[in-house]
């Protein structure tokens, strides 16, 4: 258990509404990541953070923004949700020697 | 971009059998990781590999870092029903602490 929680765990929203997902960690890890998981695509990196206020894009960052104002929290925002953003979202932290540990996930349905 | 290839997408075995799965790439990786994901949960790290040729075990699981550094193998011996799940490989080869993931293999175990 890497001390990672995600909230909410499930969310249903409508197209065009803003959505924010939260990742919280309790072990002071510097690196945090947001992935989405879709059938046929596996895990794809959306954004990651290498410190407070230090973030960078992943391979599928369009339509998403992130913020990290304190070490323990990494927020993922969908400014205007679309149906193509229906997915399962996972947060991860970097452990020792390039390992990553994942949270329990958030299931998002955009209607 | 870099890709990790895992095939087949699904494997069906009988309880008690051994199963092997591999992960291949056209790129060299410095770190190989194997994860297992149960339904509705986040991926869990099984084994991490850091040197070409390295062989590491975790209970009934054994993984190897290929000597070409372009592949890795996972073996599960004497399978049991709780081995059911999706097995992902992941590789890391740069200084940016990002992982590349395979699309996963879904393992089913018949009692």
pLDDT attached to residue A2: 66
- Render pLDDT for A80-95 as a digit per residue (tens, 0 to 9): 999 999 999 999 999 9
In sequence order, what are the residues at sequence separation of 6 or more whose Cβ sits closer than 8 angstroms to the Cβ of residue A111? A12, A13, A14, A15, A83
pLDDT attached to residue B95: 66
Calculate the alpha carbon distances from B90 to A27, B74, B104 in Å.
23, 12, 10
- Render pLDDT for A19-69 as a digit per residue (tens, 0 to 9): 999 999 999 999 999 999 998 888 999 999 999 999 999 999 999 999 999
CB-based contact A59 B42, cutoff 8 Å: no
Confidence of residue B1 (pLDDT cuts 50, 70, 90): low
Q: How far apart are CA B107 and CA B13, in angstroms?
A: 8
The tokens 């290498």 sit on which residue?
A50
CB-based contact A40 B103, cutoff 8 Å: yes
Q: Which residues of A touch B (CB under 8 A)?
A: 31, 33, 40-45, 48, 50, 58-59, 90, 94, 97-105
Among candidates B42, B97, B99 on the partner chain, residue whose Cβ is nearest the Cβ of A103: B42
- Render pLDDT for B25-67 as a digit per residue (tens, 0 to 9): 999 999 999 999 999 999 999 999 999 999 999 999 999 999 9
Name the β-bridge partners of A64: A78
- 3-state class (DSSP) for residue A97: helix
Q: Strands (DSSP E) along chain B, which ranges?
A: 5-6, 10-14, 19-24, 31-37, 44-49, 55-58, 61-65, 71-76, 85-92, 100-101, 105-110
Confidence of residue B18 (pLDDT cuts 50, 70, 90): very high
- 3-state class (DSSP) for residue A83: helix
């Amino acid at each position: 258990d890497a001390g990672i929680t995600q909230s909410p765990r499930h969310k249903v929203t409508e197209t065009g509404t803003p959505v924010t997902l939260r990742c919280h960690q309790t072990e002071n890890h510097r690196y945090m990541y947001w992935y989405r998981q879709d059938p046929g695509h596996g895990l794809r990196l959306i954004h990651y953070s290498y410190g407070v206020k230090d973030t960078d894009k992943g391979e599928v960052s369009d339509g998403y923004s992130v913020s990290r104002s304190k070490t323990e929290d990494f927020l993922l925002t969908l400014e205007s949700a679309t149906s193509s953003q229906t997915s399962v979202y996972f947060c991860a932290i970097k452990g020792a020697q390039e390992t990553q540990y994942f949270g329990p996930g958030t299931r998002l349905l955009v209607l | 971009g870099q890709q990790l290839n895992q095939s087949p997408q699904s494997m069906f075995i009988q309880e008690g059998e051994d199963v092997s799965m591999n992960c291949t790439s056209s790129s060299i990786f410095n770190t190989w990781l194997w994860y297992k994901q149960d339904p509705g949960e986040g991926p869990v790290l099984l084994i991490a590999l850091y040197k070409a040729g390295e062989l590491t075990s975790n209970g009934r699981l054994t993984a190897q870092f290929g000597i070409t550094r372009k592949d890795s193998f996972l073996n599960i011996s004497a399978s049991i029903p709780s081995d059911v799940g999706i097995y992902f490989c992941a590789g890391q080869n740069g200084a940016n602490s990002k992982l590349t993931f395979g699309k996963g293999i879904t393992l089913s175990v018949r009692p």
